[in-house]
A and B are shown apart, each in its own frame.
Chain A
Amino acid sequence: MDIKSKSIKPALAFLSFVLGISLLMFSVAVGWSAGTLGWQEINDAFQTDYQQTSRFRHTIESWFFRIADGHFTASDGLTDRNLLYFVQWEGGEAYTNCPELAQEQLPDGYNFLLSFDGAAVTIRKDGQKVEVYGDGLYRPDSLWELPGYQNYPVPSSYSSLTLLLAAAKNPAPFVQDVQGVFQYQHDYDSGLYGITLALERIRTVFVWALVLPLAAGLVLLLLSLVWHKHKVRADQAIAWCTSRVWLEVKVLLLIPFGFLSIVALYLCAGFFLLLQYPSNVLLYLTIPAALWWGYLYVNDLRYGFGQLKTHSLCALLARMLRGTELHYPVGQRICRRSALQFILCLPFFLFCALAALIFMASFWRSNWFVVLLFLLLCSIGAALIGGQLWLIAQNRRTASHLDWLLDRIQHGDAGTPLPEESDLQVVADSLEQMESRLQDAVEEQVKSEKLKLELITNVSHDLKTPLTSMVSYLELLRQEEHLPPHVQDYLQVLDQKTKRLQAMVLDVFDVSKAATGNLHLSVKPIDFAKLLRQTLADQDESIAASPLTFRVQLPQEPVYILADGERLYRVFQNLIGNALQYALEGSRVYVHLETAGEKAVATLRNTSRDELPHGVDFTERFVRGDQSRTDGGSGLGLSIARTFTEACGGSFSISTQADLFTAQVIFPLTHLRPEQEEPG
């Protein structure tokens, strides 16, 4: 199937649906109004012989009574020759429009003869006698309503009358050249031609306005049912179009169209309107028009329901006022302000319009110029309002561009570029420049970070390799037997210093990694109190061996924080090591953990052996309490403690007061709990 048929089929399906329903409705309406005619009339309309119809019989009857009652006299005549008569009252003069009729001779073209002899009526048709009275009793359904029945005797006044009436086989319209046509006082039309005309009209209307539309409508409806799938697509396409119309417009349009439909229904209530004025067919067509109007509404509701609420002038104005499609308050405020400005001006415009209207209403009769002035004022007002709306749109555009810029700054997402002529093009350009400069700077930084890490790795490798040799050969030396005591002493010193160097290299490596942000962390919810207990238990031996007393106060219930346990252990290992190394012999070390609000605060206090220097940041690298640097520490312990704490998301602080040294590690509490590992 090619593309053309894809778009044509829905259109055809929809068209056949619309036409089918319309035609059906049209024929139903016609049929309904035709119902007022009565069955007899419709049946008569399809008789091949007009003389078999009740209209013909009524016409003949009325002529009979008109003549018999003396309403039609010798001084009257007929303008046509479709009806021939011969009338003679007993003792009176006979009058006729066809002298041959006196001998009961029918001229050519006439096949119906009614003769009345003063007692009964005899009808001959095509030379055959027609039964007039039946069984002799008159009933409402008797064909002929003429005197002569047993229960409808001939009035006595008719007894002296001889009457012959002959009807043409095929009534012709008015004939001009009838002799003596206008010699009579009154000229009547026999009405026979009129009967054929009326019957033909009914026939025409039936065929063209009832039967054919009904058949065509059914066929089309069937077609649209077969193509139901395509019709649905057409419906959706139409809904797509109609959903773009503002709700207010739809509601307003409902009023005139609904009115039109009601009027049309009212006007079409009678069939005779159609019979007498065939042009009224247009009025009948307005009935389906009303239906289709409703259909559009239903279709709109069915396929475009979501759009109905948002796609209205009020919603648009509200959106304009709120500026909700903008993400940032700045743009929203700009929009709101400009919309408000317009709304505040509206009362003034309305007042002016009202004043102009009143002015014109009062003076338009006196001077046509007033009307001109009014129109001029109207167009100026419309132009002003249009201008205002245009300005609002411009402001909104700028606001949306501002939104775009802010979005870009916040998310770094470029998306579609700003149009060339935007007010903020200059800003966008400079933002772009700034971005590229920033990008360069970031790249530069990443490069330098990478370089730094490489350097650290290399330096650490270059340090570790000779260290390995030193350690190995020291071990070999130590395994030597029979070394003189002083050599053993030297060896001891070498061993100590090598160990320190080793510790320092590892510490430097750790600190550098943390400083360059290359520390791998596995942050999990852990129990802070338990970690402290474990660390203290782990250091139990060195604590017991030291001349210090540890006063530990930890909560029994778990204190959950988010941290890397391995690193936090290093933090407290270093802090305890620091205390063991620098605290005054025989003094007490206090280890506390308490929760304050949403924070867990661990505090370690000890009294320094040496006087603490004033104004020194102990967490700086290589800073120590004593300046001589002869002890075993690398000077990196507290620096590592701080770096690791901060890397895990906690805060680390050192404070000194006289000889009191206080280290504090603070972590926010977490609601997460350690997941129970499955038994292996």
Chain B
Amino acid sequence: MNETILVVDDDAEIVRAISILLEKEGYRVLKAYNGLQALEQALDPALRLILMDVMMPQLEGLSAVLKIREKRNLPILILSAKSEDTDKVLGLSMGADDYIAKPFHPQELVARVRSHLRRYTQLGDVNHAPGTDALVNGRLRYLPEEHTLLVDGEAVRLTATELKIVELLMRHVGRVFPAEEIYRRVWQEEPYSAENTVMVHIRRIREKIELNPKEPEYLKVVWGIGYKIEKH
């Protein structure tokens, strides 16, 4: 596996902790403590992914991302203490692939790194995947003929009901479905205690597809209206 990851943060202890975490997972880790160092290290041809802090001395993280993007096409994940939506949008528009707010959960960080690497390295495989009518949305890929949901290219084990819900939402990405409608379409009967039933399933699906089920990125609740899979 031995893929190389660059970790950039002005806090040396954080860099060390992340390195240990990632090395335990079997990755090779390069370290940088400011933007300029990051630019130098980014030239390493073996490099597969970058974790980048935003507020750093010498060269600020977002500028470094812009500069690296000119030369390299690899996943860049931003680590930042700024957790505002506007900050996230800014970071993603600068060319970052993901935005992880500090303080992050170490396991979530590792899961995200894994997810991005898999998507990055398996990009070729994805195109050859069977079933051209696959429904693709970010990390998710639903194959209707095989009734399979692939997350980062890996099939997820879902129950029949969960699959039906996922299929419904994946077929209408972005559309908000009230619990009653989901109930009617999936269970094919008049809704009874729909909110609770649907919510339970939604939560279970989240556990299987989301990197951080507490802060879902795909399967979202639209409070006061219904549920949807967000477009990515």
The 0/1 profile, CB within 8 Å of A marked 1, for residues 196-213 of chain B is 101110010000000000
- Pick from A471, A528, A678: contact of B105, CB below 8 A: A471
B85 interface contact, C-beta 8 A? yes
| Contacting pair A678 B175 (CB below 8 A) | yes
Question: In whole Å, how far is A379's beta carbon from the nearest beta carbon of chain B?
Answer: 78
| Contacting pair B225 A467 (CB below 8 A) | no
Q: How far is the CA of A470 from the CA of B24 in the complex (A)?
A: 18
A680 interface contact, C-beta 8 A? yes
| Contacting pair B175 A475 (CB below 8 A) | no
| Contacting pair A531 B20 (CB below 8 A) | no
Q: Please name all residues of chain B whose beta carbon is closer than 8 Å to the beta carbon of A479 when the two chains form the complex.
A: 24
Question: In whole Å, how far is A557's beta carbon from the nearest beta carbon of chain B?
Answer: 12
With both beta carbons as reference points, the residue of chain A lying nearest to B170 in the complex is identified as A680
A526 interface contact, C-beta 8 A? yes
**Chain B interface extent, by class:** 35 or more
Once A461-B81, A531-B224 are accepted as A-B contacts, the answer to whether A473 and B17 lie under 8 Å apart by CB is yes
Question: In whole Å, how far is B88's beta carbon from the nearest beta carbon of chain A?
Answer: 12
Once A469-B17, A534-B221 are accepted as A-B contacts, the answer to whether A464 and B102 lie under 8 Å apart by CB is yes
Q: Please name all residues of chain B whose beta carbon is closer than 8 Å to the beta carbon of A585 when the two chains form the complex.
A: none
The 0/1 profile, CB within 8 Å of B marked 1, for residues 488-523 of chain A is 000000000000001000100100000000001000
Q: How far is the CA of A476 from the CA of B107 in the complex (A)?
A: 10
| Contacting pair A528 B231 (CB below 8 A) | no
Q: Please name all residues of chain B whose beta carbon is closer than 8 Å to the beta carbon of A568 when the two chains form the complex.
A: 223-224
- Pick from A467, A476, A566: contact of B102, CB below 8 A: A467
| Contacting pair A472 B21 (CB below 8 A) | yes
Q: How far is the CA of A533 from the CA of B223 in the complex (A)?
A: 10
Q: Please name all residues of chain B whose beta carbon is closer than 8 Å to the beta carbon of A679 when the two chains form the complex.
A: 172, 175
A134 interface contact, C-beta 8 A? no
| Contacting pair B103 A566 (CB below 8 A) | no
Q: Please name all residues of chain A whose beta carbon is closer than 8 Å to the beta carbon of B13 when the two chains form the complex.
A: 469, 473
Instruction: Known pairs A461-B82, A526-B225, A534-B199; list 19 more (Cβ under 8 Å).
Output: A461-B55, A469-B13, A470-B103, A471-B104, A471-B105, A472-B14, A520-B85, A526-B224, A530-B178, A531-B224, A533-B195, A534-B179, A534-B223, A536-B196, A540-B200, A565-B223, A568-B223, A674-B224, A679-B175
Question: In whole Å, how far is B134's beta carbon from the nearest beta carbon of chain A?
Answer: 16
B174 interface contact, C-beta 8 A? yes
B18 interface contact, C-beta 8 A? yes
Once A461-B82, A530-B195 are accepted as A-B contacts, the answer to whether A468 and B14 lie under 8 Å apart by CB is yes
The 0/1 profile, CB within 8 Å of B marked 1, for residues 444-483 of chain A is 0000000000000100110011011111110110010000
Q: How far is the CA of A584 from the CA of B175 in the complex (A)?
A: 42
B188 interface contact, C-beta 8 A? no
| Contacting pair A540 B199 (CB below 8 A) | yes
B143 interface contact, C-beta 8 A? no
- Pick from A467, A475, A535, A680: contact of B21, CB below 8 A: A475
**Using a Cβ cutoff of 8 Å, how many contacts connect chains A and B?**
114
Question: In whole Å, how far is A595's beta carbon from the nearest beta carbon of chain B?
Answer: 15
Q: List 24 A-B contacts (CB under 8 A).
A: A461-B81, A468-B14, A472-B21, A473-B17, A475-B21, A475-B105, A479-B24, A526-B225, A527-B225, A533-B179, A534-B199, A538-B203, A538-B221, A540-B196, A540-B199, A540-B200, A565-B222, A565-B225, A569-B221, A674-B224, A674-B225, A677-B174, A679-B172, A680-B231
| Contacting pair A530 B225 (CB below 8 A) | yes
| Contacting pair B224 A472 (CB below 8 A) | no
B86 interface contact, C-beta 8 A? yes
The 4 closest A-B pairs by CB, nearest first: A526-B224, A565-B223, A537-B199, A680-B174
- Pick from B81, B85, B200, B228: contact of A465, CB below 8 A: B81
With both beta carbons as reference points, the residue of chain B lying nearest to A506 in the complex is identified as B83
The 0/1 profile, CB within 8 Å of B marked 1, for residues 524-549 of chain A is 00111011011111101100000000
With both beta carbons as reference points, the residue of chain A lying nearest to B169 in the complex is identified as A680
Once A468-B103, A528-B224, A533-B195 are accepted as A-B contacts, the answer to whether A677 and B176 lie under 8 Å apart by CB is yes
Question: In whole Å, how far is B39's beta carbon from the nearest beta carbon of chain A?
Answer: 22
Question: In whole Å, how far is B83's beta carbon from the nearest beta carbon of chain A?
Answer: 8
User: Considering the complex, which residues of chain B in the window 88-147 have a beta carbon less than 8 Å from any beta carbon of chain A?
Assistant: 102-107
Q: Please name all residues of chain B whose beta carbon is closer than 8 Å to the beta carbon of A680 when the two chains form the complex.
A: 172-175, 231
Once A530-B178, A679-B175 are accepted as A-B contacts, the answer to whether A469 and B224 lie under 8 Å apart by CB is no
| Contacting pair B103 A502 (CB below 8 A) | yes
| Contacting pair B106 A471 (CB below 8 A) | yes
Q: Please name all residues of chain B whose beta carbon is closer than 8 Å to the beta carbon of A534 when the two chains form the complex.
A: 179, 195, 199, 221, 223-224
A563 interface contact, C-beta 8 A? yes
Question: In whole Å, how far is A571's beta carbon from the nearest beta carbon of chain B?
Answer: 10
B11 interface contact, C-beta 8 A? yes
- Pick from B103, B106, B199: contact of A464, CB below 8 A: B103
Q: How far is the CA of A658 from the CA of B198 in the complex (A)?
A: 38
With both beta carbons as reference points, the residue of chain B lying nearest to A525 in the complex is identified as B224
Q: How far is the CA of A469 from the CA of B178 in the complex (A)?
A: 41
Question: In whole Å, how far is A570's beta carbon from the nearest beta carbon of chain B?
Answer: 9
- Pick from A461, A465, A476, A526: contact of B223, CB below 8 A: A526
Q: How far is the CA of A544 from the CA of B132 in the complex (A)?
A: 44
| Contacting pair B224 A530 (CB below 8 A) | yes
Q: Please name all residues of chain B whose beta carbon is closer than 8 Å to the beta carbon of A473 when the two chains form the complex.
A: 13, 17
Q: How far is the CA of A593 from the CA of B87 in the complex (A)?
A: 37
Q: How far is the CA of A479 from the CA of B17 in the complex (A)?
A: 12
Q: Please name all residues of chain A whose beta carbon is closer than 8 Å to the beta carbon of B178 when the two chains form the complex.
A: 530
Q: Please name all residues of chain B whose beta carbon is closer than 8 Å to the beta carbon of A535 when the two chains form the complex.
A: 223
Question: In whole Å, how far is B132's beta carbon from the nearest beta carbon of chain A?
Answer: 19
User: Considering the complex, which residues of chain A in the window 619-658 have a beta carbon less than 8 Å from any beta carbon of chain B?
Assistant: none
Q: Please name all residues of chain A whose beta carbon is closer than 8 Å to the beta carbon of B195 when the two chains form the complex.
A: 530, 533-534, 536-537
With both beta carbons as reference points, the residue of chain B lying nearest to A464 in the complex is identified as B81
| Contacting pair B102 A465 (CB below 8 A) | yes
Question: In whole Å, how far is A517's beta carbon from the nearest beta carbon of chain B?
Answer: 15
Question: In whole Å, how far is B71's beta carbon from the nearest beta carbon of chain A?
Answer: 29
